[in-house]
Amino acid sequence: MADLPPLREVIARHGLSASKALGQNFLFDEQLLDRIAAVPGDLAGRNVLEVGPGPGGLTRALLRAGAKVTAIEMDTRCLPALSELAMAFPDQLRVIEGDALKLDHNSVMGGEPYGVLSNLPYNVGTALFTRWMGGEEWPPLWTSLTLMFQQEVAQRIVAKPGSSAYGRLAVLAQWRAQAKMAMKVHRSAFTPPPKVMSAIVHVEPGEMPEGVSAKLLERLTEAAFGQRRKMLRQSLKSVPGAVDALEGIGIDPQRRAETLEVGDFVRLARVLG
Ligand code: SAM
């Protein structure tokens, strides 16, 4: 295994002060990083996409676990430190300079299946997650997502009906995938510490329910949760046929969106599709 200088030394040597604009909160604790890298199971020989490696803390843990890592980083200041890491782990790390929001991840990964692991920049986390979870093509080329979020966002992803956290994000994450809270991470683990607590969510794709359009399902949840305090007969008025379809599948239109199971939204989308 490569003998690497401590991360803090690498950061000092390359002058990598954390940039707020780029959502930079770095992790240095190797044990914690190894635990995060272990969430998806054995990574030896697996293709992994990491968004935002920064100075490379999580990247090191992924490489130690034997993963073949492709890392997308938009902060050019981090590239020299990442090149050193690539040299220390020959043929295991490829670094791509760019904005992960603008790149086609499947092409970047050469059309091969891959797991995603990332301590996401908070400002782009939800946008990337929505993209990974959306679209009509299922199963996706990614085989798992293991992602750091603000704890409040992580709770919305894994939320169950009846809770205030339950909404569009929960339905999006759960209608054809399993999403679980893998680990909470204290704010003091980061440098600099963010204002709020964080958590790792792990998602694996499941079966695509037959006869359901992702676009229609998203439209339904947008309407239903856009006015979450209203009864469904009011909030779903903007989707033609939705209120009648509700009654057709035995759901009382006087209920509110947050009382519906994820499977109820799926049934509704199927009837309307
Ligand atoms: N992975 C490192 C760690 O765990 O210590 C750094 C995590 S830091 C929260 C987020 C990283 O994502 C930063 O290095 C930042 O420059 C990078 N980043 C921010 N926006 C990005 C984007 N749109 N595409 C790629 N990288 C981005």
Query: 47 near 141, Cβ under 8 Å?
Result: no
- Taking residues 226-242, report their average pLDDT: 96
Residue 160, SS3 per DSSP: coil
CA 100 to ligand 1 centroid distance, Å:
10
Nearest Cα residue to 165 out of 212, 216, 201:
201
d(CA 167, CA 10): 42
CA distances from 46 to 27, 112, 116, 129, 219 (A): 23, 10, 11, 21, 35
**Quick one: pLDDT at residue 2?**
65
**Quick one: pLDDT at residue 1?**
57
Instruction: Look over the chain and give the mean of its residue pLDDT values, rounded to a whole number.
Output: 96
User: Alpha-carbon torsion 87, 91, 93, 99, what sign?
Assistant: positive
CA 240 to ligand 1 centroid distance, Å:
42
Name the band, by pLDDT with cuts 50, 70 and 90, for residue 192.
very high
Beta bridge partners of 30: none
| Residue 217 or 21, more confident | 217
Token pair for 265: 């939204």
26-65 pLDDT, tens digit each: 999 999 999 999 999 999 999 999 999 999 999 999 999 9
For 193, which DSSP code?
A: P
94-124 pLDDT, tens digit each: 999 999 999 999 999 999 999 999 998 877 9
Task: List own/partner pairs for 44-47 with CB under 8 A and 24 or more apart.
Answer: 46/114, 46/115, 47/109, 47/112, 47/113, 47/114, 47/115
Atom 17, ligand 1: residue with shortest CA distance: 52
Question: Quick check: CB of 101 below 6 Å from ligand 1?
Answer: yes
The minimum-distance atom of ligand 1 relative to the CA of 19 is 16
Question: Quick check: CB of 100 below 6 Å from ligand 1?
Answer: yes
Query: 108 near 72, Cβ under 8 Å?
Result: yes
Q: Whole-prediction pTM value?
A: 0.96
- For the cut 90, the answer to whether the pLDDT of residue 23 exceeds it is no
130-168 pLDDT, tens digit each: 999 999 999 999 999 999 999 999 999 999 999 999 999
- For the cut 60, the answer to whether the pLDDT of residue 210 exceeds it is yes
How many CB atoms are located within 10 Å of the residue 12 CB? Answer: 12
Question: Quick check: CB of 124 below 6 Å from ligand 1?
Answer: yes
**Quick one: pLDDT at residue 3?**
78
ipTM above 0.90, yes or no: yes
